[in-house]
Every structure is written in C-alpha cells, then in structure tokens.
Structure 1
Amino acid sequence: MDHPKDLDAKQKDVDHDHEVVSDGESVRIAELVQEEQEHQIKYRTCSWQKTAALLFSEYICLAILSFPWSFSVLGMALGVVITILMAAIVLYTSLILWRFCLKHPEVRDVCDIGRILFGGSDLAYNLTAIFFFFNNTFIQALHVLVGAKLLNTLSNGARCTIIFSVVSAVICFFFTLPRTLEQMSFIGIFSAVTMGLAVLLAIIFSGIQGNPFGFSEALGAPLVTAGPPPGTTFVTGMSAFLNITYTLVGQITLPSFIAEMKNPKEFPKALWAVTIAEVVVFTICGAVMYHYIGFQYMTAPAFGSLTTTYKKVAFSFAIPTIVFLGSLYSSVTSRFIFFRIFENSHHRHSNTFVAWATWTAIVGFTWILAFVIAEVIPFFSDMLSLMSSIFDSWFGFIFWGMAYLTLYPGETKWHGAGRSLETVFNWSLIVLGLYMLVAGTYVSIQSIIDSYHANAVGSAFSCASNAL
C-alpha cells in the first residue's frame, strides 16, 4: 500500500503533468494559427465575441416558442425547474467539451472526438460521422418545412407548400456559401436580434390580445397548473421534457466553433453569455405565454395561439433565424465533408475554382437532401424527435461523460471528495443519456403510431398548406 506521502507526491506529479499539457496546448494552438497565416482562407479567426454570436444564433431560435407548449404539458413549476436544470447540465457538459478540445487542439469537429473517445477507432469515427451528418441534415429539413410554414402563414396558403419549401431551401443555400464561420457570425448577430424581437412580440401579443386564438366558451378561460394537468400521459409528458432538453442540447456544433477560434481558451466567455440569456428568455417565454394562453389553447410553436394579425407580425421577425440557423448547420456539415475531401490539399485553404466548385456542390447536396427528407416523410415532426433521441443522447450527454473520464484517467478521477463526486456525476450523465436514448425512442415511435391512428399524418410531397 502506498504511503500517504507517496500519494501526495503522485498527486503533485499529476498536477505538474496537467501544467505541462496546458503549456503544450498553448504552443500547439499558436502553431495551428500560425500555419494559416500564408493561406488565402484562414479558418482560425473567430474572436470569442463572434463565437458568442454564432452561439446566440443557434440557441435563440424558433424552438423557444415551443417552450410554452412544454410548460402547458408539464405545468408551470415543473417546466421552469426542468428548463433551469437542463440548461445547467448543458453548460457543464459544454465546459467539459471545451476542456477536451483544449487538450486535443487538432480536433476539427465532433467526429474527431468520437474517434478519440473510443481509442482511435475508425469505426467509432465513421459512426459518429453518420450521426453527425443526419442530425444536421434533419435540422436543415426542419428549417425547410418551417420556412414553408412561415410563407404559407403570411400568404394565407396562396401557393403549394412544395414551392414554398423549394424557395426556403434555395434561400438557405445562398446563405451557406461563405466558407468560414467568422463570415457567418455577422449574419448570426442579426438573426439572434430579430428572433429576440419575435419572442418579445409574441409574449406581448399573448398578453394584450384578449382571448387566445381558438377561444370558445365551452373550453372557458385559459387554465394554468403548477404540475401536469389532468389527463397528461407518459408519452405527452416525456415529449414535453424531451422538447426542452433537445432545444437546449447543442453541443454537436461546439467543437466546430472552437476549432475556428483564434484563442479557444476564451470560449467560456461566449458560453456563459449565451447560457444566461437562454435561461432568462426561455423561462420567461414559456411561463408568460402559458399564463395568458392556458393549456386548452396552446400550440407549438406558440405563434399559432395568437390571433391572426399578431401571429403574422411576430412570426415574420423569425425569417432571419429560419434562414440562418439552417444555413449554419449546413455549413458545419459541408465543412466536415470539404475537409475530408481536401485533407492534405492546398484547395482546402485556397480560392481556387476546384475548391469553390466543390464547396458549392457539397452545400447544394446538403440542401437537396434536406428538401427531400422534409417532403418525403409525412410524420416529419415525430421522425425528428426520433432522430433527436438517437443522436442527442450521445452528443448531449454520453460523449461528455466519457470525455470527463478520459480527461482524468485511472485513479486520478477519484482523488479527493470533490473529484470523486464529479466522477459519479459524469457516470450519471452517461446513464441519463442511455435513458433518453431508450425512453425517447419509445415515446417517438409511440407518437408516430398515435398520429396514424388519429389520421393526423399527411402525404409525401403534399401541396396542402401547413400554415399556423
């Protein structure tokens, strides 16, 4: 058995090793930035402020307007508690992710992390890449459909939904063409501001409109409960919980953001800023709109619970976010493919015809595929929930519990009471991720079955209006 003094010496050695690694990280990051100085296109150029703009554009999104629905299912008190709790967990896991990226500055995206976590396995890398690609493409498809929904709502369904979907995909395609995230960050600021205005208007309109859209004397005045209202089932309750969770989970893009920062050590500044903002905005939006609309008249997104004029005015401010956020996910996916094609080629960082033609073709491919997925799946909303259960359980929880265990190998993870408690917490994150994988998959499949039984499923490539 080791003598206590020997254990102290080992702990000092561990701490010293971490200090050496930290110095090595700084040197390696500086080398990676310096390597790009002679390149025509430089990727590691984002300040923490520009990274914050990208984060704000990702999190301050249309999904905020689904929080009132989640609150109406879970109840006011439970909805607030879950929102704050999940935001705190996502903040913690994002900081673990950041520390992991600092330790491995060569990481370009979450696929590289998948390879490292599973011992350099090519199989793990390829499976992570598949998850990564389809997760992002389904989010793009969502924005194709939401863009069509917006145009249908504003025009009273004056055109075939397929045409509006094509228009949405084409517009998003052009906004995806910039090859660096720094170039996109400026649009991200505008996107976050206008989405914030959309949320603010929706909250105000819900309070001044009198009765919510669809009001009837039979259903009565809006009702609000602290807990789940009577009749709430496991499927609907779990769906509301997953809706909050999947909106807050966004770590899949963070390695790509960190990889394009001039100084990745400043990433926590951007992360804390967006986390504080999202907790405030998400909670206020969910609570206030639920208070005025009640569970009888609630829709998702909550724009649908506003009367016609208010609905159109508030929804129109979401246009930049619908376009930009889909473009951001397409850009991250396209960059992954582009870097793999030109792994060791000068085209990767040059303004050559081959580089731009390839980039444009990749971006176009992602949007064509997103359009097809959006139109060919008549139960897209439930399918998106299913995909989120499969992907976000890994990218939101399991990966980062594993990353923590990798950062503290062997006995180092049990040094001291604090470190031991943190280790147990990270094991619980892995268990939580596995639960969400199983429960979320079950709930999503059951929801698809229920939709078919209720004849609530449309047809593929339908012209029918999907307006709010």
Structure 2
Amino acid sequence: MANVKEGLFEETGIEPPTPLGTRSEIARYHDVDVFGHEEGHDIKYKTLSWQFVACLMIAEIVSNGMLSLPSSLAVVGIIPGVILIAFLGIFATYTSYLLVQFKLRHPDVHNMGDAGYILFGPIGREILAFGTVTFAIFGTGSLLLSGQIALAALSDSKLCLMLYTGIFTIPVLIGSFARTLDNLSWLGLLAAISMLMSGVVGMIGAGVDPSPQRHIDAALSSSFYEAFSSITNPVFAYAGHFMFFVLISEMKRPQDAMKAAYMLQGFATTFYIVFAIVMYVYLGPGVASPALSSLSPKWMKAAYGIAIPNFLIAGALYSHTASKLVFVRIFRKSKHLHSHTLMGWSVWIVLVILANGAAFVLAVGVPIFNYLVGLTASLFAAWYTYGVAGAFWLHDAYHDGDGWRTWARKWPQATLSALTFLAGAFICVAGLYASIKGIVDAYNSGSVPPAFSC
C-alpha cells in the first residue's frame, strides 16, 4: 500500500499539519488513489464536496439509532446518560480524525478491508471486509424494520408487517442502484433534514402531550447486563465510521474530510443530547425504543411520516456501501469501474439486488434479527468506530516514523491510541455478552416470534 506522505515524516512525525498541502502531494495522492485520475472517464466518482459528504454522514449515522437514546436515560438516569452521550461524541470525533489521517496517508484505502490489509495482511483484509459487508447488510435490514414500524404506524397496522417491510424494500433497492455517491448527495441532504424535523416534531409532541407517569431520575443503579444493554444504544448511535473511507474516496478534495466529520459529530452529539433529554423528561421512564412509539397517535404518525425519507436513504446508503466494496474489489483498476460496460452494470445490479434481498430476508425471516443487529454491531462497529482507529495511529507511527522511538517520543498519543484500541475491545466483548444474553432470555421467555410472521 502506497504512502503519499513518505519522505515528510522525518520532519513532521506522522501527523502532517497540512495534509495534501502542495500540488505535488495532491498529484501523488491521485496517482495511487483507488479511482485514480478520472479525466475522460464515463463514470467519475470523485465529485463530492465536503458539505455533501457531511450530509451523507449525517443521513447514515443520525438515523434510527437516535430513537433508542431516551430509553437509555430511563435505565441509567439522566446525568450519566447525558455524560455518556457527550463523551462518546467527543470520542467518535477523535477516532474520526485518526481515520481521516490514515486515509490521507494511504490513498489506495477504499474501505475497511483495505485498511485491514495494511494492518494485518491478507487475513485482516478478509475479516474487515467481511465485517463491513455484514454490518452494512444488517444495517439495511434494521432500517427496513424502522420503515416497517413507520408504515404500520401511519396505517394503523392494517397490513401484515412482513408486507410493510417488502413495500419499504422497493424504494430502498431503487435508491441503492446509483453507481456513485454523488447521485445520492442531494438525497443525503433530504435525509438529514428529514431526521432533524422528525426529532423536532417528536419533541414537540412529547411536550404537548406528556406522559402522566413521567418523572426524572438523576442516576439509577442496575445490573451490568441492564446497564450495558442500554449503554450500547449511544455507543452504536455513533457507529458509522465503517463508511468513512468509502465516502472520502469519492471526495473532490479529500483533505477537507475532517470538515465533514466535525460537522457530523457536532450536529450528532448536540442533537442526540437534546433529543434524549426532552423525550425522557416528558415521556418518563416508560419511554419506548424507538422513542417515537411512545408519542400520542397523531404525533407518532407525524414524526414517523417525516422520518421515512431518512430511513429510505440511510438504508440505500448502507446497501450501496456493501455493494460498492465488493464491486471495487472485483473491478479495481479495470475499465468496468469507470465505463458503462455491460459487465460492469450487470455485476453492479446483481450486487445491489443481493444486498437488499439479503437484508429483507434477514429482517423478516430471522426471529431474533434485532438481537443479531446488536451482535454484529458489537463484533464489527465497536472496532470500526472506536478500536481500530487506535491501531491506525500505532501502525503508522511505528512503520512511517522511527519504530518504538516514535511511540516513546509521542507517548501521550501512543497511550491514547492504545486505550482507544482497548476501548473497542471492551465494547466488543461486553456488547457480545449483552446481545447473547438477550437472545437466550428471549428464547427462555418464549417471546421469539416464528420466522416470516406478521
């Protein structure tokens, strides 16, 4: 894997103050970038501005995961819950920075699989690529279920739930067919506005028609399982870093990627805190997950109806990412990547259909799908959002710096990176425990429905 900053590390360490700051550095970046120089190509990928990348990031991350945050406050209390959401937002901003710096130093990294190859060789590439595709497909399935809930709420559940999921899958599938993310950029803006307005309407509805049993607990004691099960909600509400490399690869100016990340994390952290507090304060400890389901019928319908564009577009982004990883893996450096060839379009269409089809089958055919989403999030998102970012810094500091001496000289950053890696490991293990225990408890209680049921 090429390193665009080779030769500069002796002067600046591994964190150059102005990445891609000169024309020669930018030219070298595009020489080895996954999509290369695109002059004369039919399909141009590197067209996104940082503003639209921010919109796509917000559309993908600030989505259905946000709706579980008020229920987390109901389990641990408002003070530790808010502190946790704020801390995780800051932490996610830091790991975003590490991911962006790694991408700028390794332009040919298109996805987590490519990054895994740099860190751990061929095995690392296969594991992280598999995890990305798996998590993206499960994420699509989760959003299909959110769409199912929204459609059922709007129609007073007059149809079979599986039918709602099938109906919702169709526009998600159509949105996934776009070959480049630029074709989804304006939809990303719509999705971001959609979730913002849905949250605002939900908060207004909660304030206008609050729960009569509401009360506020500053802090609550609970078992490790209960506490961590609720903590996973804010942890995975920030779980979108697995898509960052794909997004940055399609930017006109990848050196502006941190602007998009700052906008994302600033908006997400602020909105998460406000939404969680308002919904918890007015709906009380009985607030459901998703929180919109605790609103009175008219407000619930309004909030879910406004959220539908976000669920659709975020689902399309997830399935697009799963398909794009495999597509680039197959056709990297070939004419099919940049030209309108029969082979290229045929493979792309098949991949998109397979990704969405798998998401639909998993969502409606696996009775414990919601638990499996938590399981895959623990296995992969814990690493992609948090843990692996620390490994990125440690790797480049060692190989592009002066080995152990760089770690010793930059010991605060080295320590923080190591702790970041360990944090990812802890979230992974604890999340797996909570998810597996949840599955066991669900089966023991007889609450698991049959497959493909209404």
Query: How much does 1:70 deviate?
Result: 0.8
Contact 1:199 1:314 in 2 (8 A): yes
- Structure 1 residues 156 and 347, CA gap change in structure 2 (3 angstroms): same
Q: Flag structure 1 segments of 5+ consecutive residues without an equivalent.
A: 1-11, 216-220, 464-468
Pair 1:336 & 2:325 matched = yes
Which residue number corresponds to residue 407 of structure 2?
A: 414
Contact 1:383 1:444 in 2 (8 A): yes
Where does structure 1 differ by over 6 angstroms across 4 or more consecutive aligned residues? none
Query: How much does 1:34 deviate?
Result: 6.5
Could you tell me how far apart the structure 2 residues matched to 1:453 and 1:308 are? 32
Deviations 1:371-408 (A, max 9, x none): 11112211221111111111122212221111010121
Aligned length: 438
What is the one-letter code of the residue matched to 1:71? Answer: L
Pair 1:313 & 2:302 matched = yes
Query: How much does 1:308 deviate?
Result: 1.0
User: Residue 318 of structure 1: SS of its match in structure 2?
Assistant: helix
Which residue number corresponds to residue 15 of structure 1?
A: 11
Pair 1:195 & 2:190 matched = no
Could you tell me how far apart the structure 1 residues matched to 2:358 and 2:36 are? 37
Could you tell me how far apart the structure 2 residues matched to 1:124 and 1:415 are? 26
Could you tell me how far apart the structure 1 residues matched to 2:111 and 2:191 are? 24
Task: Name which of structure 1's ranges 35-44 and 161-170 shifts more when overlaid on structure 2.
Answer: 161-170
Which residue number corresponds to residue 422 of structure 2?
A: 431
What is the one-letter code of the residue matched to 2:215? Answer: L
Could you tell me how far apart the structure 1 residues matched to 2:140 and 2:19 are? 38
Could you tell me how far apart the structure 1 residues matched to 2:436 and 2:380 are? 15
Which residue number corresponds to residue 109 of structure 2?
A: 107
Alignment of 1:283-432 (within 5 A): 283-295=273-285, 297-409=286-398, 410-414=403-407, 416=409, 419-432=410-423
- Structure 1 residues 13 and 271, CA gap change in structure 2 (3 angstroms): closer
Deviations 1:76-115 (A, max 9, x none): 1101110111111111111111111111111111110010
Query: How much does 1:26 deviate?
Result: 2.3
User: Residue 184 of structure 1: SS of its match in structure 2?
Assistant: helix
- Structure 1 residues 21 and 326, CA gap change in structure 2 (3 angstroms): closer
Which residue number corresponds to residue 451 of structure 2?
A: 460
Q: Flag structure 2 segments of 5+ consecutive residues without an equivalent.
A: 1-7
- Structure 1 residues 34 and 108, CA gap change in structure 2 (3 angstroms): closer
Contact 1:405 1:413 in 2 (8 A): no
User: Residue 37 of structure 1: SS of its match in structure 2?
Assistant: coil
Which residue number corresponds to residue 4 of structure 1?
A: none
Pair 1:235 & 2:225 matched = yes
- Structure 1 residues 16 and 252, CA gap change in structure 2 (3 angstroms): closer
Query: How much does 1:44 deviate?
Result: 1.1
TM-score, normalised with respect to structure 2: 0.92
Which residue number corresponds to residue 450 of structure 1?
A: 441
- Structure 1 residues 40 and 412, CA gap change in structure 2 (3 angstroms): farther
User: Residue 320 of structure 2: SS of its match in structure 1?
Assistant: helix
Which residue number corresponds to residue 3 of structure 2?
A: none
Query: How much does 1:13 deviate?
Result: 7.4
Which residue number corresponds to residue 234 of structure 2?
A: 244
Could you tell me how far apart the structure 2 residues matched to 1:404 and 1:96 are? 7
Contact 1:194 1:317 in 2 (8 A): yes
Contact 1:47 1:263 in 2 (8 A): yes
- Structure 1 residues 13 and 89, CA gap change in structure 2 (3 angstroms): closer
Task: Name which of structure 1's ranges 158-167 and 257-266 shifts more when overlaid on structure 2.
Answer: 158-167
Could you tell me how far apart the structure 2 residues matched to 1:16 and 1:397 are? 25
